[in-house]
Structure 1
Amino acid sequence: MDSVTHITLGACIGELVLGKKLGKQALMWGAIAQSLPDIDSAGALFLSPEQALLAHRGITHSLVFALVVGLALAFLVRRIHHKVYVPFVTLALFFCLQLMLHDLLDTCNAYGTGLLEPFSHQRFSVNLLYVADPLFTTGLLVAFVVLVFKNIRYQGRAKWAFVAIALSGLYLCLAVFSKLYISGRVQATLKKDGVQPGYLITPAPFTSMLWYIVAPVNNGYNTAYSSVFDGNANGIAYQFHAKNDSLLNGVQNKNVVNSLVTFSDKYYTITKAGNDININVLRFGQVQGWAVADAQFAFSYPLIAGKNQAMLLQKGRLSGWNGHALKIYVKRILGKSVIENKPNHKI
């Protein structure tokens, strides 16, 4: 999740657990604990772009890291606040659970989280929330502001924190039911469209009401966007993308290719434009693909040696957004058709 979500959630938990003992400093320690796993972003500065992709959400997002660092933080805070009695067990549980919650929350995104590092390199992702979802975070942010500015003697502090966390929890439950609904619609199309097992459903930007679908078919993938508000009669409009593995034969740096294929979790296509060969990681969606058929993928990485290999993930996700695009996006979330160029088939 984004940093604002982790900071505000950590602060609210800090208020509930340690607020009466440490006052507003509980907000600070909660925010620090929730943010600490993302320290791996600093280490990525010393790695190649493809190595940095695999390193992020790796060991610092593992349960081992949460346990070791959580105990270390408990010991540190106990020393710093030695004038206030807080049982070491309470501090240890607080920090370990904060760090673990960060990890578990990140599994809700499409990126993948290395919970079992260093014993296993498997990445976990349940694809329930977009990396930034206003409906999940707004309540936490409002409560955070109240807790920062309200006097420590204000009797409603814990209530603000509890309600904010409860609202985010309810929204997460809504995302689960929303995904199950879309999954049922996709399953109904499997035989008709030749979709193979192992399809992917992940949220579109900033919402859990519109979902991006990647469905394996022969020699490629079908992609589509489907809203919970789409009528059943509308079906699902799929767009086919050939995998084009043969284009990799001309790529010399096999280590880069292998790293990116691993990062893609095998959801990728290869495209060529002129002399440029790119690998597209399908898990991160298409740039406004809900409005433009066959839109370019948000994550595209050049494979030809000598090219600028700065990955385009974050920049690509928000490319072309303006007031008009936002209106179209809202319409699509509400179940209205906005495709400018019709896909090659519909079921």
Structure 2
Amino acid sequence: MDSLTQIVLGAAVGEAVLGRKVGNKAMLYGAIAGTIPDLDVLASFFTDNVTALYVHRGFTHSIVFSLLFSPILAWIVTRYESYKNFKNWTWLFFLAFVTHPILDAHTTWGTQLFWPFDLRLAFKNIFVVDPLYTVPFLVFLILAMRQKRTTAKRRFYNNMGLILSTSYLALTLLLKWAAYTKFESALATQNIDYIDIDTRPSPLNTILWSANVQTEDAYLLGNYSFFDSQPITFESYPKNHDLLGSLVEDKSVKQMIAISEGWYTITKENNTIYFNDLRFGLLSLKPKSTNFVFKYKLEVDPTGKVSFIEAPKDSNDGKKLLSELWQRLKGN
């Protein structure tokens, strides 16, 4: 999830653990701990794109990280804070750390909660930024912050924020199931044979859902809004995996295929090969668009090493997409 959401979650968890003992300091330390796992993005400054993507939401988003670093931070804090209970500080940091990747596991990118095992949890039931999850949560956190640390109102507001956000998260799982059944029904009605289907919410909402459908030689991409009155339609995108040729044996290429979980197409434009990660869809809802959110140009140096260069995006793409999403969300 986005940084603000993780700050709010961490602060609420910190308050739940130590709010009555240390007041707003519990929120402060919880908020700090809630952002620490995302420091793995700094890897992009020290390594190539593929490696940075591979380690993102890896070790720092694992239970192992939470277990190792929560007592370390607790020890540091007890060196200078007047409240010296090492066990309670450890619980605060552990819960703030571990709830971060648990929430991230509900997004499309997912997380390696059980690192070092090569298992990425990605339930794909909430977009990385969702105001309906974050805003009510933030409002209740602010209300709690304004109360004295020992009052029942403070605990009530904080608990309400945690309950409402968690309930909404549970609701998105039900919405995902409902959208999934609609896509399944549409495929059956249109007599489309498929190998696999993957669904996710569109940006900033859980009303409009997208599906990637794998067939033998192509991927079908479709959208469904709960306000739709017309049947679901699908756009076909050839896999073109053969365009990789011998590059498919390159280590970086293999890593990118693993990162995309096999949901990718290869396109060739002006003798340049592009790797398109389908999991995050397109920057346009227009038919036959090839403007994928994550599109990488493959460059091969004289030694045969392959580099992935993210294709530049037009600054207006985001605005156009939001406008298209709003229109599509209201139904077809």
Fold match by TM threshold 0.5: yes
CA apart distance, 1:158: 2.4
Find out whether 1:189 has 2:186 as its counterpart.
yes
Find out whether 1:299 has 2:294 as its counterpart.
yes
Describe the SS at the equivalent of 2:54: helix
Distance 2:77 2:195 in 1: 49
2:63 maps to what in 1? 63
1:344 maps to what in 2? none
Describe the SS at the equivalent of 1:139: helix
1:173 maps to what in 2? 170
* Cα distance, 1:67–1:193 mapped onto 2, change above 3 Å: farther
Matches within 5 A, 1:111-122: 111-118=109-116, 120-122=117-119
CA apart distance, 1:65: 0.7
Distance 2:126 2:167 in 1: 13
Say if 2:17 and 2:91, in contact at 8 Å, map to a contact too.
no
CA apart distance, 1:45: 1.4
1:258 maps to what in 2? 254
Matches within 5 A, 1:32-71: 32-71=32-71
Give the alignment partner of residue 212 of structure 1, picking from 186, 195, 210.
210
CA apart distance, 1:50: 0.9
Matches within 5 A, 1:67-78: 67-78=67-78
2:201 maps to what in 1? 203
Distance 2:261 2:181 in 1: 23
Structure 1 residue identity aligned to 2:83: V
1:141 maps to what in 2? 138
Find out whether 1:275 has 2:267 as its counterpart.
no
1:5 maps to what in 2? 5
* Cα distance, 1:206–1:195 mapped onto 2, change above 3 Å: farther
Deviations 1:131-165 (A, max 9, x none): 11111111122234445566657763322222222
Say if 2:199 and 2:209, in contact at 8 Å, map to a contact too.
yes
Find out whether 1:333 has 2:332 as its counterpart.
no
Say if 1:215 and 1:221, in contact at 8 Å, map to a contact too.
yes
Describe the SS at the equivalent of 1:108: coil
Total equivalences in the alignment? 326
Structure 2 residue identity aligned to 1:270: I
Say if 1:44 and 1:56, in contact at 8 Å, map to a contact too.
no
Give the alignment partner of residue 99 of structure 2, picking from 92, 98, 101.
101
Describe the SS at the equivalent of 2:299: coil
Matches within 5 A, 1:11-26: 11-26=11-26
* Cα distance, 1:45–1:223 mapped onto 2, change above 3 Å: same
- The TM-score, its normalising length taken from structure 2, stands at 0.89
Distance 1:23 1:114 in 2: 33
Say if 2:260 and 2:277, in contact at 8 Å, map to a contact too.
yes
1-10 or 94-103, which deviates more = 94-103
Say if 2:34 and 2:96, in contact at 8 Å, map to a contact too.
yes
CA apart distance, 1:257: 1.4
Distance 1:252 1:244 in 2: 12
Structure 1 residue identity aligned to 2:329: I
Give the alignment partner of residue 317 of structure 2, picking from 291, 301, 320.
320
Describe the SS at the equivalent of 1:207: coil
100-109 or 10-19, which deviates more = 10-19
Describe the SS at the equivalent of 1:283: strand
CA apart distance, 1:300: 0.2
- The percentage of aligned residue pairs carrying the same residue is 31
Distance 1:308 1:261 in 2: 14
Say if 1:44 and 1:55, in contact at 8 Å, map to a contact too.
no
Structure 1 residue identity aligned to 2:277: V
Distance 1:312 1:12 in 2: 38
CA apart distance, 1:56: 0.6
Structure with the bigger percentage of strand? 2
Aligned-CA RMSD value: 2.5
Deviations 1:82-105 (A, max 9, x none): x3253x333333322221111111
- The TM-score, its normalising length taken from structure 1, stands at 0.86
* Cα distance, 1:131–1:187 mapped onto 2, change above 3 Å: same
Distance 1:64 1:43 in 2: 19
Give the alignment partner of residue 126 of structure 1, picking from 123, 129, 134.
123
Distance 1:312 1:35 in 2: 28
Structure 1 residue identity aligned to 2:259: F
